[in-house]
Amino acid sequence: MDNAESPDTPPVQPSGPASGPPRAPAPEPAVNRAALEELAADLGMDTMLAAVRQLEHDVGAFLSRLSSSQDAGDRAGVQKAAHGLKGLFEQFGVPALAEVAVSLASHRAAGTPETSREVQHLLNAAPAAIAGVLAYTQALVPGAQPPACPSGGEQ
């Protein structure tokens, strides 16, 4: 069953000490399982498993570049990393994070409060999204293990 809630909606912040218990963590981004099934059918399962492992590596490299570019105030670096993430998230069925990446790529400056929130959202949500893609892909072929993540190939 797909998670219909949008992970892009920020949770309500408590207004004071009497606000109650701490809020639960944001739900993991929904993975479009139909998109993954279609991609697996197009690629074949062996190639799909290898592609998901490469996805894990590539998203990590783009997130690293995104973070360092944001810290340096490098707008072009933020935009390039966000554009790369957008493509990966679209291809592997994580539309909510693709939308955040599209928004981030369109900003005219790095280091603003809005870009900082979006960068942080991607840094926090991407690992769970990739884990969801990997888990669902492995569930398509029980017992299948993706090949090891290739080394090198820094973005």
* In contact, 133 and 92? CB cutoff 8 Å: yes
pTM assigned to the model:
0.74
pLDDT (0 to 100) of residue 110? 78
Report the b/e string of 11-50 with b at 16+ CB within 10 A: eeeeeeeeeeeeeeebeebbbbbebbeebbeeeeeeebbb
Predicted local confidence at residue 3, as pLDDT = 41
pLDDT tens across the length of the chain (155 residues):
444 433 443 333 333 334 344 433 444 568 999 999 999 999 998 899 899 999 999 999 999 999 999 999 999 999 999 999 999 999 999 999 999 999 999 988 777 888 999 999 999 999 999 999 998 998 887 666 655 555 544 44
pLDDT of residue 138: 86
